[in-house]
Amino acid sequence: MAMNTESLSPWPIARQLRRMRAMYAAGVALWAASSAWTGWADPGSRPMWTSLLLLVVFTGLVVMTSWSLRRLESADAMRRLPNPRSGGAASRDTRAREFRQSGGSLAEPYGRFSD
């Protein structure tokens, strides 16, 4: 059960995803070193293949975490765009298309869309 103080807003989720990505990246480094060592010491052995399997697993975890973090940050940037009902003329789909075409810079979340 979730704690009452736990927030489901995008920022704590993004912070947790960044922590997980750092841990998985450390796992990739560890298993890459282990794979290289066992591949050099005993090529074709079971420990070498196990290290390679774990390297693939941790690489997949890093990729998926990075992908989730990118989706979360771009979704948050889209939420911060001006609302067309509050005076903007473009529809949500038009704004989303323009945002994707502009590269979706998170450094300037409002970019060309500011009033």
Binning pLDDT at 50, 70 and 90, where does residue 40 land? very high
Binning pLDDT at 50, 70 and 90, where does residue 115 land? very low
Higher pLDDT, 63 or 12: 63
Q: Are 28 and 55 in contact (CB under 8 A)?
A: yes
Separation between Cα atoms, residue 70 and residue 64, nearest integer Å: 10
Average pLDDT score over the chain: 79
* Helix, strand, or coil (residue 67): helix
Task: State the DSSP code for 84.
Answer: G
Q: What are phi and psi of 108, to 5 degrees?
A: -120, 85
